[in-house]
Structure 1
Amino acid sequence: MNLEFNIAVHVLSFLTKHSEEQFNSQDLAELTCLNPVQLRRVTTTLNNQQYIDSIRGKGGGYRANAHTPTITLDTLYQLFVLDKLPTQRIFTGSEESHCTISRNIATTMNKYKEQETALALNFYRNLTINDVIKETLQEDTSNDTF
């Protein structure tokens, strides 16, 4: 899981809950408690995937479309977590090391990483944006209007 995945789920949930409305990026960032730059980076990807509709120019903004409520979280996990190349080294050891552990630890950890990925995708496969909204609203104890 990473921040962009969370932003995507948050924004899609918000837009779905308010599907009759359209929000410009500044208002959407404020209403979802997000940095506008981070929000735009994610909404650009969501729009390119046709997960949301975007209207450009004055009076433009973002809104949910017919597909937004049924997007599964595994597709978002793939897009925002798995398809992102790591910016840092994630495995230790060296194949040239004299130590058996150091020589083979990366192979072992890579197998674990692949299993972790399969578990995460399987977990998210049957969860949709509608499911997130339903569960999130059950958590609510306030009487806010948004």
Structure 2
Amino acid sequence: MNSEFTIAVHCLVFLSMRSECMANSEDLSQSVGTHPARVRKVLSVLRKHGYLTTKEGAHGGYLLSRPSEEIKLGELYRLVAGGSLGPSWCSGESGSPCKVSSNMQGVMGAIYDGGEEALSAYFDRISILDVQQSIERGESPLSMKACSGPKQEQEKS
């Protein structure tokens, strides 16, 4: 999996938690912990596909353009990381006299495709709001469930 997916999710959760204020790429890159140019590259894709609106200028920045409960991790994964589960190289060589070598790429390709579909389906059940709420509740990643239902009221502390 590539880091663009993590950057996309991080930025959208950050913006969701600051829904009343714009954030610039410097704010976002400090939160993500990477170079602003890298963050801007991902933000550009998100803006192009309707997840963000922007305002240019001294007090400009980024805002979510869709409600966070409607943005599913699956759509983000397919947008910025789809196909990244499979390796960049696979053993074997089609046309080889060795049965294993000549079939390995096709078999492993199908296995990775199945994994990609399963991962994407799992991510489809998790929204940006789910991630935000998990962070706000201080849940560990292992306790987060793919639940994405109606927006739940936050308990006041």
* TM-score, reference length from structure 2: 0.80
Q: Which secondary structure state, in structure 1, belongs to the residue aligned with residue 81 of structure 2?
A: helix
2:66 corresponds in structure 1 to 66
- Aligned-pair CA distance for 1:137: 2.0
Contact 2:15 2:63 in 1 (8 A): yes
SS in 2 for 1:127: coil
Give the aligned partner of residue 144 of structure 1.
none
User: Does the Cα contact within 8 Å between 1:72 and 1:129 map onto a contact in 2?
Assistant: yes
Q: Which runs of 5+ in 1 are unaligned?
A: 142-146
Greater mean deviation of Cα atoms: 95-104 or 55-64: 55-64
Q: Is the 2:22–2:63 Cα contact (8 Å) retained in structure 1?
A: yes
- Aligned equivalents of 1:119 and 1:52: distance in 2? 27
In structure 2, what is the equivalent of residue 37 of structure 1? 37
> What is the identity percentage for the equivalent residue pairs of Structure 1 and Structure 2?
29
Moved more, 121-130 or 91-100: 91-100
Q: Which runs of 5+ in 2 are unaligned?
A: 141-157
Aligned to 2:117: 118
TM-aligned CA deviation for residue 140 of structure 1: 6.3
Instruction: Tell me which residue corresponds to 1:11.
Output: 11
* Partner SS, residue 139 of structure 1: coil
1 or 2, which has the higher helix percentage?
1
User: Hey, what's the Cα distance between the residues in 1 that align with 2:128 and 2:136?
Assistant: 12
1:62 is paired with a residue whose SS is strand
- CA distance in 1: counterparts of 2:89 and 2:132, whole angstroms: 33
How many matched pairs?
139
Deviation at 1:59, TM superposition (A): 2.0
- How far is 1:31 from its partner? 2.9
C-alpha RMSD of matched pairs (Å): 2.0
Aligned ranges for residues 71-86 of structure 1 at < 5 Å?
Answer: 71-82=71-82
For the residue of structure 2 that corresponds to 1:42, the secondary structure is helix
Question: Distance between the aligned counterparts of 1:90 and 1:67, measured in 2?
Answer: 39
Which whole-Å deviations, capped at 9, do the CAs of 1:7-45 have from their partners, x for residues lacking one? 000000000010001112112211332221110000001
C-alpha displacement at 1:50, in angstroms? 1.2
Amino acid at match of 1:65: S
Instruction: Name the CA distance, whole Å, in 1 between partners of 2:46 and 2:28.
Output: 14
Q: Displacement of 1:80 after TM fit?
A: 0.9
- TM (normalized to structure 1)? 0.86
Q: Distance in 1 between matches of 2:130 and 2:68?
A: 12
User: Is the counterpart of residue 127 in structure 1 residue 126 in structure 2?
Assistant: yes
Aligned to 1:49: 49
